[in-house]
Amino acid sequence: MTGTEIQTSAAVEQRNGSAPVLEVSDLHVTFPGEGKGPDIRAVRGVGYSLRRGEILGIVGESGSGKSVSSLAAMGLLPDHARVTGSIRLHGEELLGLDDRRMSAKRGETISMIFQDPLSGLTPVYAVGDQIAEAVRVHNPAVSKAEAADRAVELLELVGIPNPAQRYRAFPHEFSGGMRQRVMIAIAIANGPDVIICDEPTTALDVTIQAQILEVLKTAQRETGAAIVMITHDLGVVAGLVDRMLVMYAGRPVEIGAVDDVYYRTRMPYTMGLLGSVPRLDDEEKAPLIPIRGNPPSLSALPSGCPFAPRCPLAIDACSEAEPELQPVGAEGHAAACVRTGEIEEHGWSAADVYPLPEASGAGSGQPPREYRETVLDVDGLVKHHPLMKGAVFKRRVGTVYAVDGISFEIAEGETLGLVGESGCGKSSTLMEILSLRTPQSGKVTVLGRESGRAGHRERFEIRRDVQVVFQDPMSSLDPRMQVFDVVAEPLRTHRHPRAGLRARVNELLTLVGLDPAHAARYPQEFSGGQRQRIGIARALALKPKLLVLDEPVSALDVSIQAGVINLLDDLKAELGLSYLFVAHDLSVVRHIADRVAVMYLGRIVEIGAADSLFSAPAHPYTQALLSAIPVPDPEKERTRSPIVLEGDLPSPASPPSGCRFRPRCPKFRTLSTAEQQACVDTEPGLNAVSQDDHGAACHYAEKRTVV
Amino acid sequence: MGKFLVRRLVNYVVLIMLATTFAYLLAATTLSPRVNYEERSPRPTEEQVDQRLDELNLNDKTPLAERWVVWASGVAKGDFGKTVTGTPVNDEIERRVWVSLRLIIVGTVLGSVIGVAVGAYAAVKQYRLFDKASTAGAFFVLAVPAVVIALSLQVFATMFNQAVGAQVFVYNGEGTLGLEAGFWGTLWDRLKHMILPTLALALAQFAAFSRYQRNMMLDVLGSDFVRTARAKGLNRRDALLKHALRTALIPTVTYFTFTFGVMMAGTTFTEKIYNWNGMGSWVVDSIVTNDVHAVAAVSCFMAVCIMAASFLSDILYAWLDPRVRVS
Ligand SMILES: Nc1ncnc2c1ncn2[C@@H]1O[C@H](COP(=O)(O)OP(=O)(O)O)[C@@H](O)[C@H]1O
Ligand code: SF4
Ligand code: SF4
Ligand SMILES: [Mg+2]
């Protein structure tokens, strides 16, 4: 009898929205070590509670235990994981439920959206059937036809055009963004009370990220669910969440209302995180504030505060015991740090706490770019790939216009950032430049020598002047070679005198901030950021003039990324290098680039000095791209409304007639029919939009501030 | 998709023709039916031999091309020629083909279905007892030559029969000669004769399939889509069957063609060892008796079987994998 009463009152509380929907307390997850290896303590004491309709952000670098703690709530951890603590859904304990009872909750009351939409759907079933399955598994009474109707409704809700026809499509026919929409449809199919989103937009382009975030907001409106938003992107959480939890090494280190955490940060790690993100809304180029060192290994945690080895405020008391979350300042704000009180008292911010790296003075004192030597000159470069079909007898069925006539030049000591959605032709451009072959059409001139015209010897010479750094530090380094040999390899190839070899390698390692004493180690013994430094050291070995960087920091966590970006900045100033910097993260590009070129479907649609282009972009595509990037500033972010582009990047095999951006162009829709004609008929060329050489390929280019 | 299958079918027919022709040419140049007459007593005269061989289209004095044209035009009309003793090859095929097909079909179906089931289950129970036992079993079977397996099964059967003192297992021939036991009795008798040779064939299939399916299944077990399936509320078993196994079956279907060829080779000695008068044992006998046309006919049969298996796996593949169907 009493049980019922308690339940009833709980239900009443529920309806009033005062009782938490999901309550996690003192959650610990340990993965037993393999063989005799030490245990991995992935989550240690996570706790939060979530009310109806509330959005909680969980941020932290990779490996901090964000995913593991959410999988624990879903009961989807592998069997060998040891989970303790408590996870209550509507007051009912979930830990310890058997598979049958837990399955009844999953997808019905609590559901989850995962990071990688490309592999998240079963390849052999139609997308509609996969949604209908989610409906029917919890409501066996619903007929197949009714479930299919519901699936079409859901497809419509998440913004799939022609949902009734697309129901029959298979996952491989959908782009990443559309598949993520399907995943959201599956997650909300039964109107859950809690939706856990584990980095739902990390694998997507910013324009698609903006779409997906909109869909998530719609989904929340429809279901009234509480959302746990896991991300490493401090911009995404800023505008979206009510409260946030910062995790470090499996522990919650700061929790509170989003404004408190951003503006009244009370924990040095959170400060470091906020200080190390390059910001799109930063006009001046101050060096980023990296956090030194790396996160600790979860199987060998230091005693005391796990952040102590990296913390600029660490004192002896820090290593005595692991600090607990203590309330600070406003209600609900808590931080795990012994010096929280002092931080609050003095009102310290990241700039006070972290030693500021000296500004490298790059760009100052250089003559204007017209007077500098041109290091790379690309003129009308074209790269078309044949589109083949057939398994045995291949036949050509079309052409992929990967790079379709682009021109730009890079002056000595200059960084050109090349940006655009994935598939727009950035990598093809790089490959064409690096191949040093005669292009299909157009001209590539490296340091005054035209590609394809050079003889064998000359090409060898050019190779030393142009070096490349790739995205994935691990796959571009041979795991069987010691770091010394990795760096020495290009020197040997180019017959560096044997006598000075060791000295040169040591010099290079020091230059990129690595300890020469570690030269005998193998790449896998280094962390991601260090490996990228090894890659940079190797690229610098031959004293190149131009460094081509293909997404060099996108695989790194922000605190590590900041250090590598600063390094690149310093090297440029010190060695007078030029960079061709390809990245999809525009905040990083804004930070590092002097000039920026924006690519869309094989063409450059806007090019100009970084300041001019970022502060007042003129092409509708650039405007949309910039407005889609969330800035890590809650107040600012809440007032911004992104220009959400519709649809995906069209196939580069069949670009639209006239202006290639037309089908997605928000500006086009505001034009009169007469004005639209120009967009339909003629492809716009790059025309200057201001006195400096800022150009945009739009008939109606108009500068606008969007950040 | 239909077009894809038709194209495949045409390819297969061409391949069968090539394989059969090649087998004929090889047999006709290496086997010498003339030798068969040398040991006869009284030894026939050379003219008599030539005359006889001419009747059979087996005379090595006739140019090979000429003999081939005669043989091939016969085959085109469905006539595989005569055996060395002068009986029609077609009659012999008719008698033997079902004997072999019975073994092959039942052996394949049993071996592959059980192999897939055991492999998939072993993957789910990775490193547990079931997985370890089935892995050990499969490796054992794979490591031991098929002949040895067939022979050891016989030995075990004999021991078993002696131990229980009854003819539980029979391992000689397809049925008891001259048995008069009505329809059910005969069927039972046939079944009893079938068990051991079918098992011998199925075991190798099973071993190959269980290993392969286990690996395929392990690849998908940790995959994101299985996690999605569970996140939407499917219980573990359903997620594993409907999503993991369903996807992991696709590569196995292509593997089927490959193992089938190996099994066809296995039928020759299995039939020989168990004294079955099928196509497999026939080819062995025919080589001994220099029976060119019989060798060519059996080769054609094997080619047809292998191509049929490939075609079947094409159909299954297209049926299982929508990505083929759509494009
Ligand atoms: N199945 C597992 N077995 C062993 N360790 C695991 C397993 N899953 C995750 N981990 C470890 O747990 C830690 C936290 O991982 P995770 O929650 O995925 O981090 P995040 O999502 O914050 O990037 C990592 O060190 C990871 O290697
Ligand atoms: S407890 Fe000490 S080491 Fe840890 S964050 Fe606070 S000041 Fe730094
Ligand atoms: S030319 Fe027309 S369609 Fe193209 S970007 Fe400008 S306004 Fe849009
Ligand atoms: Mg994660």
Phi and psi angles of residue A28, each rounded to the nearest 5 degrees, phi first:
-125, 135
Q: What is the pLDDT of residue A359?
A: 60
Which member of A107, A116, A125 has the closest CB to residue B233? A107
Is the CB of residue A62 less than 8 Å from the CB of residue A55?
no
Residue of B nearest to A126 (CA): B322
Measured CA to CA, the distance from residue A136 to residue A134 in angstroms comes to 6
Average pLDDT over residues B59-74: 92
Provide the token pair at A392.
């045995």
A111 contacts on B by Cβ (under 8 Å):
231-232
For chain B, say whether A119 makes contact (Cβ under 8 Å): yes
Ligand closest to CA A663: 3
Residue of A nearest to B221 (CA): A78
Q: Where are the domains of chain A?
A: 1-109+194-282+290-356, 116-191, 372-388+397-696
Measured CA to CA, the distance from residue A93 to residue A23 in angstroms comes to 9
Average pLDDT over residues A285-311: 87
Q: Which residue has the higher pLDDT, A22 or A397?
A: A22
Q: What is the pLDDT of residue A9?
A: 45
Q: What is the pLDDT of residue A327?
A: 92
Ligand 1 atom index nearest CA of A77? 1
Shortest CA gap B308–chain A (Å): 21
A613: exposed, middle or buried (C-beta count within 10 Å: 0-12, 13-18, 19+)?
A: buried
Q: What is the pLDDT of residue B318?
A: 87
Amino acid at A29: V
pLDDT of B143 above 70: yes
Measured CA to CA, the distance from residue B229 to residue B241 in angstroms comes to 11
Range of lowest pLDDT (A10-24, A585-599, A627-641, B79-93)? A10-24
Rounded alpha-carbon distances, angstroms, from residue A684 to A405, A610, A626: 13, 22, 21
| CATH 1.10.1040.10 applies to domain B2-325 | no
Tens digits of per-residue pLDDT, A190-226? 999 999 999 999 888 888 999 999 999 999 988 899 9
Provide the token pair at B90.
């077609």
B234 contacts on A by Cβ (under 8 Å):
103, 133, 137
Range of lowest pLDDT (A61-75, A446-460, B216-230, B246-260)? A446-460
Please tell me the distance between residue A73's alpha carbon and the centre of ligand 2 in angstroms: 29
A123 contacts on B by Cβ (under 8 Å):
225, 247, 321-323
Q: Is A158 helix (H, G, I), strand (E, B) or coil?
A: coil
Tens digits of per-residue pLDDT, B17-55? 999 999 999 999 999 888 888 877 788 888 889 999 999
> Do you know the residue count of chain B?
327
> Do you know the residue count of chain A?
707
Range of lowest pLDDT (A39-43, A599-603, B254-258, B314-318)? B254-258
Measured CA to CA, the distance from residue B144 to residue B148 in angstroms comes to 7
Measured CA to CA, the distance from residue A694 to residue A64 in angstroms comes to 43
Tens digits of per-residue pLDDT, A153-166? 999 999 998 999 99
Phi-psi region of B24 (alpha: psi -120 to 50; beta: other; left: phi over 0): alpha
Q: Where are the domains of chain B?
A: 2-325
Range of lowest pLDDT (A184-188, A330-334, B175-179)? B175-179
A186 contacts on B by Cβ (under 8 Å):
228, 232
pLDDT of A18 above 70: no
Shortest CA gap B53–chain A (Å): 45
Whether A134 sits inside 8 A of B232 (CB atoms) is yes
Provide the token pair at A550.
């293909």
pLDDT of A130 above 70: yes
Tens digits of per-residue pLDDT, A453-493? 878 888 888 888 999 998 876 777 888 889 999 999 999 98
- Cis ω on the peptide bond leading into residue A355 (within 30° of 0)? no
pLDDT of A666 above 90: yes
Contacts of A97 (CB under 8 A, 6+ apart): A75, A105
A559: part of which helix (H) or strand (E)?
Answer: helix A558-575
Phi and psi angles of residue B221, each rounded to the nearest 5 degrees, phi first:
-55, -45
Supply angle C-alpha B7, B10, B13, rounded to 5.
Answer: 155
Please tell me the distance between residue A250's alpha carbon and the centre of ligand 1 in angstroms: 9
Tens digits of per-residue pLDDT, A563-596? 899 999 999 988 989 999 998 889 999 999 999 9
Q: What is the pLDDT of residue B145?
A: 86
What's the pTM?
Answer: 0.87
The residues facing A428 across adjacent strands are none
Q: What is the pLDDT of residue A51?
A: 93
Is the CB of residue A488 less than 8 Å from the CB of residue A505?
yes
- Cis ω on the peptide bond leading into residue A490 (within 30° of 0)? no
CATH fold of A1-109+194-282+290-356 reads: Rossmann fold (3.40.50)
Which member of B232, B238, B250 has the closest CB to residue A107? B232
Is the CB of residue A66 less than 8 Å from the CB of residue A60?
yes
- Split at pLDDT 50, 70, 90, the class of A706 is confident
- Split at pLDDT 50, 70, 90, the class of A297 is confident
pLDDT of B216 above 50: yes
Dihedral angle computed from the Cα positions of residues B196, B202, B208 and B214, in that order, rounded to the nearest 10 degrees: -110
Q: What is the pLDDT of residue B109?
A: 92
Contacts of B229 (CB under 8 A, 6+ apart): A122, A133, B238, B239, B242, B243
Please tell me the distance between residue A65's alpha carbon and the centre of ligand 1 in angstroms: 6
- Split at pLDDT 50, 70, 90, the class of A369 is confident
- Split at pLDDT 50, 70, 90, the class of A2 is very low
Number of Cβ pairs < 8 A linking chain A and chain B: 80
Is the CB of residue A64 less than 8 Å from the CB of residue A37?
no
Question: Which residue, A242, A192, A246, A179, is CA-closest to A222?
Answer: A192
Average pLDDT over residues A359-381: 77
Measured CA to CA, the distance from residue B306 to residue B18 in angstroms comes to 14
Is the CB of residue B190 less than 8 Å from the CB of residue B252?
no
A108 contacts on B by Cβ (under 8 Å):
233
Task: Name the CATH superfamily, with its identifier, for domain A372-388+397-696.
Answer: P-loop containing nucleotide triphosphate hydrolases (3.40.50.300)
Measured CA to CA, the distance from residue B141 to residue A612 in angstroms comes to 73
Provide the token pair at A633.
């500033």
ipTM rounded to 2 decimals: 0.85
Q: Is A362 helix (H, G, I), strand (E, B) or coil?
A: coil
Measured CA to CA, the distance from residue A696 to residue A621 in angstroms comes to 10
Please tell me the distance between residue A472's alpha carbon and the centre of ligand 1 in angstroms: 20
Shortest CA gap B247–chain A (Å): 7
Q: What is the pLDDT of residue B326?
A: 59
A198 contacts on B by Cβ (under 8 Å):
none
Q: What is the pLDDT of residue A557?
A: 86
Q: Is A253 helix (H, G, I), strand (E, B) or coil?
A: strand
Please tell me the distance between residue A294's alpha carbon and the centre of ligand 2 in angstroms: 15
Please tell me the distance between residue A61's alpha carbon and the centre of ligand 1 in angstroms: 12
CA A636 to chain centre: 20
Average pLDDT over residues A340-356: 85
Q: How many CA atoms lie within 13 A of A275 on its CB side?
A: 26
Shortest CA gap A556–chain B (Å): 23
Query: Quick check: CB of A298 below 6 Å from ligand 1?
Result: yes
Kindly calculate the radius of gyration of chain A based on its CA atoms and give it in whole angstroms: 27
Provide the 8-state DSSP code for B88: B
Which member of A125, A137, A183 has the closest CB to residue B233? A137
Which residues of B make CB contacts under 8 Å with A?
Answer: 223-225, 227-236, 238, 243, 246-247, 250, 320-323, 326
Measured CA to CA, the distance from residue A188 to residue A153 in angstroms comes to 12
Measured CA to CA, the distance from residue A606 to residue A596 in angstroms comes to 8
The residues facing A210 across adjacent strands are none
| Residue whose CA lies nearest to ligand 2 atom number 3 | A308
Q: What is the pLDDT of residue A613?
A: 93
Q: What is the pLDDT of residue A6?
A: 42
- Split at pLDDT 50, 70, 90, the class of A15 is very low
Which member of B233, B236, B323 has the closest CB to residue A172? B323
Phi and psi angles of residue A578, each rounded to the nearest 5 degrees, phi first:
-115, 145
Please tell me the distance between residue B208's alpha carbon and the centre of ligand 3 in angstroms: 60
What's chain A's average pLDDT? 89
Average pLDDT over residues B186-198: 89
Q: How many CA atoms lie within 13 A of A530 on its CB side?
A: 19
SS3 content of chain B, % helix, strand, coil (to 5): 80, 0, 20
Measured CA to CA, the distance from residue A82 to residue A93 in angstroms comes to 16
Q: What is the pLDDT of residue A8?
A: 43
Ligand closest to CA A58: 1
β-pairing, A92-93 with A82-89? antiparallel
Measured CA to CA, the distance from residue B327 to residue A206 in angstroms comes to 30
Is the CB of residue B130 less than 8 Å from the CB of residue B121?
yes
pLDDT of B123 above 90: yes
A396: part of which helix (H) or strand (E)?
Answer: strand A395-411
Ligand 3 atom index nearest CA of A660? 4
What's chain B's average pLDDT? 90
CA A269 to chain centre: 20
| Residue whose CA lies nearest to ligand 2 atom number 6 | A337
Q: What is the pLDDT of residue A390?
A: 60
The residues facing A367 across adjacent strands are none
Shortest CA gap A139–chain B (Å): 11
